[in-house]
């Protein structure tokens, strides 16, 4: 959510920023509503002041046993008038809130201006692409042949876009997750949280998935609960409605969780394999920091995510998303894309965003620089570190051998009981 004062005073600037994002929003009503609200507030506050002072007087008179009937009658009218005006103000405020809550974040000045993903800017490339001397297979074929992922039975048990990991596949899933967690906890300074996988709508508004993107979520019937689409939601909201101590910032949390996405509107995309699932696991990184340090923290977070791929020795590139490709809450986002031979291209495996104070304002997360200072909104960041399913796909494809087996990356072996290879039975 934008600061209402900022919007009021930088109206044209905001409109331009939204145009760059391709967000077609009409803000025309805003200024009028805003002005009207303040006019009405002055009016009603004056009346409330009168009511407060006179009511106090009535109390005093009654204590002395003096009849205050005239004053009470007068106040009846005042109270009615107040009720009427209060309703009007409330209605206006709802309209203003409706507008504010649907405005996406303003892109940072270092974000390239562009209409869509074709105008994203590659900022880094790492690693050598595998030079196969045989025809590499896509991960779903490798996995089925090794009997480590079962697509068919998941379809039977649940439906499309679900899988069972099986045997060494299931172990690999745990290994990848534990490797990532240990790295972030022990070397990058993150404190692990195991979050609820179900959150209420308020939390989803806090991080920006609601109210605009409800169709992407799984909602639990007849409740206010949703399955989380990412651990970013519970972890960011962990500090909602709190005022943090400035000395404790920056705060780093990581969380391993399942994520649930309806994938509405992506029918037909990535239908094979484990790239696009309704349920997948992910290690998420979330940071809370002071405004002046958030961009430096974003760079560090990207490095933390990159480190996972470097240690796994998987080739990747880093992309600076352009204005037209930014997510709703993000002011700046780097995507990390891993090399996937079956796609003959790079595929997103992490997305690291600085949301500045956009989520903090929605979720009301503040901090005090010193015990005497006024509260300020923190900046929040989030990034995948990494998506586990896509990492497994990348490992299977990049580490496949001519005989159909898959070598296990060095750093994962301790997590696989020392195993160095997954072979056919």
**Residue 48 within binding range of RNA, rule CB under 7 A:** yes
Q: Is 276 a catalytic residue?
A: yes
> Going along 229-378, which residue ranges are E strands?
242-245, 251-260, 279-289, 316-320, 332-340, 345-354, 365-368, 376-377
- Rounded Cα distance between 245 and 242, Å, is 10
x/- site string to RNA, residues 318 to 357, per CB under 7 A?
Answer: ----------------------------------------
- Rounded Cα distance between 285 and 214, Å, is 23
**Residue 194 within binding range of RNA, rule CB under 7 A:** no
Of the candidates 104, 16, 100, 23, the residue with the CA atom closest to the CA atom of residue 353 = 104
In whole angstroms, the minimum distance from the beta carbon of 378 to RNA comes to 13
Among 13, 38, 84, 212, binds RNA (CB under 7 A): 38
Burial letters 254-288, b for 16+ CB under 10 A, else e: bbbbebbbbbeeeeeeeeebbbbbbbbbbbbbbbb
**Residue 369 within binding range of RNA, rule CB under 7 A:** no
Q: Do residues 291 and 379 lie in contact, with contact meaning Cβ atoms separated by under 8 Å?
A: yes
CB nearer to RNA: pick between 77 and 345: 77
Among 23, 25, 27, 41, binds RNA (CB under 7 A): 41
x/- site string to RNA, residues 70 to 109, per CB under 7 A?
Answer: --x--xx-xx----------x-------------------
**Residue 9 within binding range of RNA, rule CB under 7 A:** yes
Please identify which of the residues 329, 361, 390, 397 carries the catalytic annotation.
390
Beta-strand pair 164-165/149-150: antiparallel
Q: Is 80 a catalytic residue?
A: no
**Residue 54 within binding range of RNA, rule CB under 7 A:** yes
Among 42, 265, 424, 425, binds RNA (CB under 7 A): 42
Listed in sequence order, the residues at least 6 apart from 280 whose beta carbon sits closer than 8 Å to its beta carbon are 258, 259, 274, 387, 388, 389, 390
**Residue 51 within binding range of RNA, rule CB under 7 A:** yes
**Residue 374 within binding range of RNA, rule CB under 7 A:** yes
CB nearer to RNA: pick between 24 and 292: 292
Beta-strand pair 242-245/365-368: parallel
Q: What are phi and psi of 49, to 5 degrees?
A: -60, -45
- Rounded Cα distance between 412 and 415, Å, is 5
Among 248, 371, 418, 424, binds RNA (CB under 7 A): 371
Among 13, 19, 46, 125, binds RNA (CB under 7 A): 46
User: What are the tokens at 135?
Assistant: 């025809």
Please identify which of the residues 294, 351, 353, 384 carries the catalytic annotation.
351
- Rounded Cα distance between 386 and 180, Å, is 7
- Rounded Cα distance between 173 and 416, Å, is 10
Task: Give the catalytic positions in this structure.
Answer: 261, 276, 348, 351, 390
Residues that bind RNA (CB under 7 A): 4-5, 9, 38, 41-42, 45-46, 48-49, 51-56, 58-60, 62-63, 72, 75-76, 78-79, 90, 243, 371-372, 374-375
């Amino acid at each position: 959510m934008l600061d209402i004062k900022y919007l009021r005073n930088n109206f044209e600037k905001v409109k331009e920023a939204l145009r760059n994002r391709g967000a077609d929003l009409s803000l025309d009503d805003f200024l009028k509503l805003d002005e009207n609200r303040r006019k009405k507030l002055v009016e009603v506050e004056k009346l409330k002041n009168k009511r407060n002072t006179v009511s106090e007087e009535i109390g005093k008179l009654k204590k002395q046993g003096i009849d205050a009937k005239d004053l009470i009658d007068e106040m009846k009218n005042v109270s009615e008038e107040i009720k009427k005006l209060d309703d009007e103000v409330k209605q206006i405020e709802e309209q203003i809130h409706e507008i504010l809550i649907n405005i996406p974040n303003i892109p940072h000045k270092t974000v390239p201006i562009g209409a869509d993903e074709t105008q994203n800017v590659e900022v880094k490339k790492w690693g050598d692409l595998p030079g196969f001397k045989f025809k590499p297979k896509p991960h779903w074929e490798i996995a089925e042949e090794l009997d480590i992922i079962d697509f068919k039975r998941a379809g039977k048990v649940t439906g499309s876009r679900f899988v069972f990991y099986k045997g060494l596949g299931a172990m690999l899933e745990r290994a990848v997750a534990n490797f990532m967690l240990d790295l972030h906890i022990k070397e990058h300074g993150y404190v692990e949280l195991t979050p609820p996988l179900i959150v209420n709508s308020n939390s989803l508004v806090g991080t920006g998935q609601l109210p605009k993107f409800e169709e992407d979520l799984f909602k639990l019937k007849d409740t206010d609960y949703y399955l989380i689409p990412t651990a970013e939601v519970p972890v960011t909201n962990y500090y909602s409605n709190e005022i943090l101590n400035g000395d404790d910032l920056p705060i780093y949390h990581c969380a391993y969780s399942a994520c649930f996405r309806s994938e509405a509107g992506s029918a037909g995309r990535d239908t094979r394999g484990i790239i696009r699932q309704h349920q997948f696991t992910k290690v998420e990184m979330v940071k809370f920091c002071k405004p002046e340090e958030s961009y430096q923290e974003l760079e560090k977070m990207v490095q933390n995510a990159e480190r996972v791929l470097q240690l796994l020795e998987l080739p990747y590139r880093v992309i600076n998303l352009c204005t037209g490709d930014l997510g709703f809450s993000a002011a700046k986002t780097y995507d990390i894309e891993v090399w996937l031979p079956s796609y003959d291209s790079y595929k997103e495996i992490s997305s690291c965003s600085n949301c500045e104070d956009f989520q903090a304002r929605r979720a009301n997360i503040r901090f005090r620089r010193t015990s005497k200072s006024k509260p300020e909104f923190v900046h929040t960041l989030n990034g995948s570190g990494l998506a586990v399913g896509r990492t497994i796909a990348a490992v299977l494809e990049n580490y496949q051998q001519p005989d159909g087996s898959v070598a296990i990356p060095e750093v994962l072996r301790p997590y696989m009981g020392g195993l160095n290879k997954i072979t056919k039975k």
